[in-house]
Structure 1
């Protein structure tokens, strides 16, 4: 049995038994932590927890992918966006709110790292300028077709999406992304979401006079960003192996949970964490 299958078999049992309890666990706002410019081991005040020393590898680990940007077509940030607060906070909430055993220490890897195949879930953020090398494209293809799951997050507008689509076409020339319907289990497997969540960056979150919430996010190319899109690329068995979160920024909902009470309640609690937990649960049970 492969490592991916071993991890998933354990998670599937636990989620089926305890999944109904997750929605009743309360979120509690915590403080703010500052980011470092590079890879660091500082936790910035995020609580740590012990793991079973007898099963050090039997854990979910949040893996952020480090990539080079070679002047891609869409602009945008880079792999460090929301690092490292986002990864720490999400790992903590996944540990608190689900029965998964979670590694308190998220890691950063390159796609060509030989350790990639030790982890069934990887995360790429701000891909508007991303251009894969040939080695990275080949490694990502092998990873996904062998059971791995890639989540892509936090990019806005048509040109940034087109850049990511073209790069993924190099990885999967015979497979195209499609819009995932709201009825798909990934929106309902733990938290039953009634709409596809849109999470703006904290400085673009909008609150109307009547209490309505929304986003002031805009795209550098002027294209419409009002509608979030969740697209997927699947394998031959219809398993989602690439999940693309476009016109939304789940990572900011994780990173900025401690900076503003209203943003925390409206976007972190109601949207960013439920969608993220659903995504990881799907990745770890399929």
Structure 2
């Protein structure tokens, strides 16, 4: 790894209060990369909208208080990842990022979008139409942070509403695929768990968050021109590795530095060059 690609500083980052800011030169204009997080409706949000309060348990047993899935790790992970992306690559990166609905007409101005915790995801009909149009017109979606078979089943059900045709199916990526070597060479598929799970499993090497999530999966969906339009990161949580990098030095070195940032940067670089 050359000096440009070395993640060497544990700086205690948490939010913009700790993340360095930077200026984007005007001459780069439309070439600036913006990390776009997708806001969506979840089972838990629908539950709360029916007047049952803020807080409880999701359909799959996850506890939640005052957030709706799409905003998990926000804004810390987005700010930290954007900083590392501009620090470790030659890309010009927007320091602030953006949150958009799938139905926002500005979506098509951004070639890369990020969606997490789809285990509770419920697309509206308008979102189904918008996401299909976005992906088939050159957009790229990264899906992150969901665990186990029940959450996979919910995501698969929703994504098949977007692409019901049999030719559109998630395909497991082999570790030899270019996406695992685009900038950083990864020798195994990275499984990143929450900081609490990591610390509790430190002595045993456990990195999965539930028993039916031991095996990490990176799957892709391709358009009719064989372009990868989506990567699905299942039984792993890259966003936690970005968000929590400043809370524990061991976690930073073992999960943020070695796994979460390299894989995230590889995904963005691959998406933007293919």
> TM-score scaled to structure 1, two decimals?
0.84
Query: What's the Cα RMSD here?
Result: 1.7
Query: Equivalent residue for 1:180?
Result: 173
Question: Cα offset for 1:181?
Answer: 1.1
Structure 2 residue aligned with 1:207, among 202, 205, 223?
Answer: 202
Query: Equivalent residue for 2:147?
Result: 156
Deviations along 1:240-272, one digit per CA (max 9) or x if unpaired, are 111100000100000000000000000000000
Structure 2 residue aligned with 1:168, among 152, 156, 159?
Answer: 159
* 1:33 corresponds to 2:28: no
Query: Equivalent residue for 1:94?
Result: 85
Change in Cα spacing, 1:144 to 1:75, as seen in structure 2 (3 Å) is: farther
CA distance in 1, matches of 2:21, 2:249: 23
Q: Is the 8 A contact 2:193 2:240 kept in 1?
A: yes
Question: Cα offset for 1:45?
Answer: 2.1
Query: Equivalent residue for 1:15?
Result: none
Deviations along 1:146-182, one digit per CA (max 9) or x if unpaired, are 0100000000000001100110000011111121111
3-state SS of paired residue (2:25):
coil
Query: Equivalent residue for 1:57?
Result: 30
CA distance in 2, matches of 1:198, 1:23: 24
Change in Cα spacing, 1:195 to 1:216, as seen in structure 2 (3 Å) is: closer
CA distance in 2, matches of 1:27, 1:251: 19
Change in Cα spacing, 1:25 to 1:215, as seen in structure 2 (3 Å) is: closer
Change in Cα spacing, 1:140 to 1:73, as seen in structure 2 (3 Å) is: farther
- Structure 1's unaligned 5+ residue stretches are 1-19, 35-42
3-state SS of paired residue (1:192):
coil
Q: Structure 2 matches for 1:95-244, cutoff 5 A?
A: 95-174=86-165, 175-205=168-198, 206-208=201-203, 213-218=205-210, 224-244=212-232
Q: Is the 8 A contact 1:254 1:273 kept in 2?
A: yes
3-state SS of paired residue (2:43):
coil
Change in Cα spacing, 1:105 to 1:24, as seen in structure 2 (3 Å) is: closer
Deviations along 1:41-77, one digit per CA (max 9) or x if unpaired, are xx22211001112333320000000111135864656
Give the number of aligned pairs: 252
Query: Equivalent residue for 1:255?
Result: 243
CA distance in 2, matches of 1:214, 1:23: 31
CA distance in 2, matches of 1:95, 1:264: 18
3-state SS of paired residue (2:19):
coil
Structure 2 residue aligned with 1:67, among 13, 30, 40?
Answer: 40
Question: Cα offset for 1:23?
Answer: 6.5
Query: Equivalent residue for 1:5?
Result: none
CA distance in 2, matches of 1:65, 1:115: 12
Change in Cα spacing, 1:216 to 1:173, as seen in structure 2 (3 Å) is: closer
> TM-score scaled to structure 2, two decimals?
0.87
- Structure 2's unaligned 5+ residue stretches are 45-57, 63-67
Question: Cα offset for 1:232?
Answer: 1.0
